[in-house]
Amino acid sequence: MEPPLSPRESGQYVAERSVDVRVEEEGAEKVAEMLYGLRNSEELSADGWKKANPLAPEPTSDQAINWVFVVDTMNFSFWPDSDSQQCEVTHRGCTYTGYMTLCAAITRAMDEGVPITDPQFFSRMSLEQLEHVLRSDTDTPMPMIRERHQVLTEGGRVLMEHGGSFRSFINRAGNDARKMVQLVTEHIPSYRDQATYQGRALSFHKRAQILVADLWGVMAARGEGDISNMDWLTMFADYRVPQALVHLGALRYSDGLMEALKKGERLPSGDRREVEIRGCSIWAVERIKVHLLRLVQERDKQNCPINSVIIDFYLWPYAKRHHQQMAHVPIHHTRCIYY
């Protein structure tokens, strides 16, 4: 069997064959024009990592890199079964929902003296211990607690086999983003985010890529140089950024898919429509990037340092900030450990 296509190749492969999702070139150009106006801002750089991750430990601390590993290993499936049943975590005077409940819960545990960022601890922690760490302040628990326990302890055991920290493990890949993704997906099964579409094996590797991107952000905040080959990474194919891409006109869903999502139909992981949403999202961001680089070259007569990761770093919080304006665009609901 052929090895899976890379995430970028997978995005193009799907976009060229998709039935229910289409990349809109004109919309991608408009998003690029919008981003062009922000090209010199902190919003479109890796330097804003701490601002985008206010609950993380200080980047200069020894805990920061392991914090990234713990959070990204459990970074999946936060959407509630209903808006009236939200998992919430209140910490340091703020109440969080969604992905931020995980960040708040991990930082709360650290404040309480739980060594949650120590692989020696989390590789062996019990389900009950993790349930306490991730406890909700409402009657609605965080989804998929058992799966989160399984992937965290699994990841911790891998780190213990390779030096006892995420830094010692990932150093085996040198300073290369592509090799880092390959190392993570080779050794940690829960990071192997793959699918089959029209007879071809694909990879999306959302969590593996965001893990490397977050490490990049931490390293930039620490002033410790750069990770090479970041251009190899794509956007992180989840359920929130596709919503923003549809809202902004870079993606279009068929009437049938839009109706199914508005009715609340859940798409199983690997479902053709789910694969099309994720693959076309990757390719839409690639097209946005191409148009943005062209604009900078034509108008500023210089090369543009903005990559797909930085565009994703912008689009995800954009979707959160504008959730009311884009409420007419449904997110797709897929319960899985990959996103």
Tokens of 59: 């980047």
What are the strands, taking DSSP E only, across 161-199? Answer: 194-197
Clarify whether 238 is annotated catalytic.
yes
φ, ψ of residue 190 to 5 degrees: the values are -65, -15
Alpha carbon 195 to its chain centroid, in Å, reads: 17
**For residues 70 and 106, what is the distance between their CA atoms, to the nearest angstrom?**
8
pLDDT at 331 over 70: yes
**For residues 259 and 149, what is the distance between their CA atoms, to the nearest angstrom?**
35
Q: How confident is the model at residue 81 (pLDDT cuts 50, 70, 90)?
A: confident
Give percent of the chain above pLDDT 90. Answer: 87
How does DSSP classify residue 203? E
pLDDT of residue 170: 97
More reliable by pLDDT, 25 or 44: 25
Is 49 within 8 Å of 217 (Cβ atoms)? yes
* Residue tagged active-site, from 214, 238, 255, 300: 238
pLDDT of residue 48: 66
> Which one, of 79, 37, 34, 43, lies nearest residue 331 by Cα?
79
pLDDT of residue 145: 98
**For residues 142 and 133, what is the distance between their CA atoms, to the nearest angstrom?**
11
**For residues 41 and 69, what is the distance between their CA atoms, to the nearest angstrom?**
28
pLDDT, mean of residues 202-213: 98
Alpha carbon 120 to its chain centroid, in Å, reads: 26
The string of pLDDT tens digits covering residues 246-265 is: 999 999 999 999 999 999 99
More reliable by pLDDT, 138 or 226: 138
Contacts of 136 (CB under 8 A, 6+ apart): 87, 88, 89, 101, 142
Is 47 within 8 Å of 221 (Cβ atoms)? yes
Contacts of 290 (CB under 8 A, 6+ apart): 32
Is 69 within 8 Å of 211 (Cβ atoms)? yes
**For residues 72 and 209, what is the distance between their CA atoms, to the nearest angstrom?**
10
Q: How confident is the model at residue 221 (pLDDT cuts 50, 70, 90)?
A: confident
Spans of all domains in the chain: 7-321
Give the end-to-end CA distance of the chain in Å, rounded to a whole number: 26
pLDDT of residue 226: 82
Give percent of the chain above pLDDT 70. Answer: 99
How does DSSP classify residue 80? -
The string of pLDDT tens digits covering residues 274-322 is: 999 999 999 999 999 999 999 999 999 999 999 999 999 999 999 989 9
